[in-house]
C-alpha cells in the first residue's frame, strides 16, 4: 500500500479486465476509493455481464481497499452519468476519471459495415465523452480534478482498424479540448497510449518489440492522477508506456509553409507545393513495407 492517491476518489471504466483492472487495483492500493466500471463484454463487445466489475471490487476489498461496481455501458449518456453519480453518492467527491473501456471489430475499410464502425467509435470515443462530460461538471465546481483518456499508437493509422484508429485519434483531440476548456477550473486532462499484454493485444499479427504488463500502465496512470503530476502542471499530453519505456508524443503543429503572391490556382499549386511545402513521410507506411518484406521472407515482422 502506498499513499500516492490517499483521500482521492477515482472512477475507472473498463476496469474489469486487462489494463483497466490493473489501474483500478493500483489506485486502490495507493489509497483511492474506486468506482469500478465494466460492462463485462467480449473483445468484440458482446455478451455483457455484471460479474466482471463485481469481481474486481471483491479483489480490492480483499486487499483492504474500498470500491464499488458499476456495470453500465459507457457508450450511453446514462452510463457515463451513473459512474459519476455513484462516486458522489458513495464517496462524496470525484478526483479522477480514467476511461479505459474499449472493444475491437477488425475489418478492411472497403468491407467495414456500420455494425463494425458504430459500436467501436461509440465505446472508445463517445464512451470517453460521456464520462468526461459528467465528471467535468463536478470537477469544475470542485475546482480540481484529473481526466485520463486511453488512446493507442494506432491513432497514426491502421490497415484493418479504421474504426478503432479514428476513435483513438478523436480521443486525443477530446483530451486536448478538455485540457484547454477546463484549464481555468483547475482540471487537467491527458491521454495514455499503452502497449501491454492483455486479451486485446494477444492477436496482434506482429512481434511487438516494446511491450509490457498492465501494471506498468497502471503506475503511469496513478502518477498522472496524483498531486505530483498536478504540481508539474501536466495537461494536454499524450504518453506512451510500453514496459520500461515512457514516451511523450509531439503536439500537432504545421511543419512547413509557403505563401502565394496572388490567388492560388491548381496549376500554381502543382508548380509550388512539391518543392516548397512538400510532404511529411508517414512512418506507418515505411512499416508496411517492412511487413511486406518480412512476409515475403516468411518471417514474423517486428514492430
Ligand atoms: N493492450 C494494449 O496493448 C493496448 C494498446 C493500445 C491501446 N489499448 C487500449 O487500452 C484500453 C484497455 O485495453 P485492454 O487491452 O486492457 O483490453 P481488455 O479487452 O482486456 O479490457 C477492456 C475492458 O473494457 C470493457 N468494456 C468494453 N466495452 C465497454 C463498455 N461499453 N462499457 C464499459 N466497459 C466496457 C470490457 O468488458 C473489458 O473488460 C483500450 O481502450 C484499448 O484500446 C490497449
What average pLDDT does the segment 239-260 reach? 97
Count each helix (H run) and each strand (E run) in the chain, helices first. 10, 8
Nearest to residue 30, comparing CAs of 57, 53, 64? 64
Residue 301's pLDDT band, with cuts at 50, 70 and 90, is low
pLDDT at 303 over 80: no
Q: In degrees rounded to 5, what are phi and psi of residue 172?
A: -65, -45
Q: How far is the CA of 18 from the centre of ligand 1 (A)?
A: 7
pLDDT band at 216 (very low <50, low <70, confident <90, very high): very high
Distance between Cα 103 and ligand 1 center (Å):
6
Helix, coil or strand: residue 238: strand
Measured in Å, residue 280 CA sits from the centre of ligand 1 at 31
Is pTM beyond 0.85? Reply is yes
Over residues 60-64, the mean pLDDT reads: 98
Q: Which of 51, 102, 153 best tests ligand 1's pocket when mutated (most atoms within 8 Å of CB)?
A: 102
Asked if pLDDT for residue 223 goes beyond 80, the answer is yes
% of the chain with per-residue pLDDT over 70: 98
CB 13 less than 6 A from any atom of ligand 1: yes
| Backbone φ and ψ of 210, nearest 5° | -115, 105
182-196 tens-digit pLDDT: 999 999 999 999 999
Q: 234 CB contacts (<8 Å, ≥6 apart)?
A: 188, 190, 224
User: Which of 165, 170, 200, 214 best tests ligand 1's pocket when mutated (most atoms within 8 Å of CB)?
Assistant: 200
Q: How confident is the model at residue 208 (pLDDT cuts 50, 70, 90)?
A: confident
pLDDT tens per residue across span 78-117:
999 999 999 999 999 999 999 999 999 999 999 999 999 9
Q: What average pLDDT score do residues 202-212 get? A: 81
More confident call, 77 vs 298:
77
pLDDT surpassing 80 at residue 206:
no
Q: What is the mean pLDDT of the chain?
A: 96
Minimal-distance CA residue to ligand 1 atom 13: 19
Query: 11 — phi, psi (to 5°)?
Result: -110, 135
Check if 212 has its Cβ closer than 6 Å to any atom of ligand 1: no
Residue nearest (by alpha carbon) to ligand 1 atom 23: 14
Specify the residue with its C-alpha closest to ligand 1, atom 42: 102
Dump pLDDT digits (tens) for 111-162: 999 999 999 999 999 999 999 999 999 999 999 999 999 999 999 999 999 9
Amino acid at each position: 500500500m502506498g499513499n500516492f492517491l490517499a483521500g482521492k476518489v477515482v472512477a475507472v471504466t473498463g476496469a474489469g479486465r486487462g489494463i483497466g483492472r490493473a489501474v483500478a487495483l493500483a489506485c486502490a492500493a495507493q489509497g483511492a476509493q474506486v468506482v469500478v466500471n465494466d460492462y463485462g463484454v467480449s473483445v468484440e463487445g458482446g455478451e455483457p455481464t455484471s460479474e466482471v466489475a463485481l469481481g474486481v471490487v471483491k479483489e480490492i476489498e480483499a486487499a483492504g481497499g474500498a470500491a464499488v461496481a458499476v456495470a453500465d455501458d459507457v457508450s450511453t449518456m446514462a452510463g457515463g452519468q451513473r459512474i459519476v453519480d455513484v462516486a458522489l453518492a458513495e464517496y462524496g467527491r470525484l478526483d479522477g476519471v480514467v476511461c479505459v473501456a474499449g472493444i475491437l471489430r477488425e475489418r478492411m475499410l472497403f468491407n467495414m459495415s456500420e455494425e463494425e464502425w458504430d459500436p467501436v467509435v461509440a465505446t472508445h470515443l463517445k464512451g470517453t465523452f460521456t464520462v468526461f462530460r459528467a465528471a467535468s461538471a463536478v470537477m469544475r465546481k470542485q475546482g480540481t480534478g484529473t481526466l485520463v483518456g486511453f488512446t493507442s499508437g494506432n491513432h497514426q493509422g491502421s490497415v484493418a482498424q479504421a474504426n478503432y484508429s479514428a476513435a483513438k485519434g478523436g480521443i486525443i483531440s477530446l483530451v486536448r479540448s478538455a485540457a484547454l476548456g477546463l484549464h481555468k477550473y483547475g482540471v487537467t486532462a491527458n491521454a495514455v497510449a499503452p502497449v501491454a499484454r492483455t486479451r486485446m493485444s494477444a492477436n496482434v499479427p506482429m512481434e511487438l518489440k516494446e511491450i509490457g504488463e498492465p501494471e506498468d500502465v497502471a503506475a503511469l496512470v496513478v502518477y498522472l492522477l496524483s498531486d505530483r503530476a498536478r504540481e508539474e502542471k501536466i495537461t494536454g499530453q499524450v504518453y506512451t508506456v510500453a514496459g520500461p519505456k515512457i514516451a511523450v508524443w509531439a503536439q500537432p503543429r504545421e511543419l512547413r509553409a509557403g505563401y502565394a503572391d496572388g490567388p492560388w490556382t491548381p496549376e500554381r499549386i502543382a508548380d509550388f507545393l512539391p518543392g516548397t511545402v512538400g510532404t511529411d513521410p508517414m512512418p506507418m507506411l515505411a512499416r508496411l513495407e517492412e511487413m511486406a518484406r518480412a512476409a515475403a521472407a516468411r518471417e514474423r515482422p517486428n514492430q
